[in-house]
Amino acid sequence: MQHKITPKEYNRILEGLQPIIVSLESLSAWVDRENAFEMDTTLSAECKDATFVQGGENVVVIASYRCRVRKGRKVILKIDATYRVEFSSEEPFSDEFFDTYKESSLQLLLWPFFRELVYDITSKMYIPPLVLPFQ
């Protein structure tokens, strides 16, 4: 059984964590232009994966996001983005801390970047700009 981090421990580590830089590592976007203006579609957007690497006082987090728009079973829009976040940290990350961090605080940090990217990319594709929920 995996041990969970206590809220007190989580907050203590979080207080010593400062983002240094957020950068876009990779981006891929595709649209089915023939069906891009369909009204009866479904949207899904999520963080696919997040990992971390500890290196001295710095921690690097890599997080991948995915957005899909479907018409029935057919995908008509794909956007994939991977972000790199470098943090200074007063304490080493633990797996238990990161399991909680990637589900909460990391999403608060990176979701606005992905949300803005999706809006910007879709407008540049010359299709109606897609606005993701605040999450």
pLDDT in tens, 63-115: 999 999 999 899 999 999 999 999 998 887 888 999 999 988 999 999 999 99
| Residue 23, CA atoms < 13 Å, CB-side half-sphere | 7
DSSP labels for 76-113? EEEEEEEEEEEEEESS---HHHHHHHHHTHHHHHHHHH
Flag whether pLDDT at 44 surpasses 90: yes
The helix/strand/coil state of 119 is helix
Secondary structure of residue 122 in the 3-state scheme: helix
Q: What is this structure's pTM?
A: 0.88
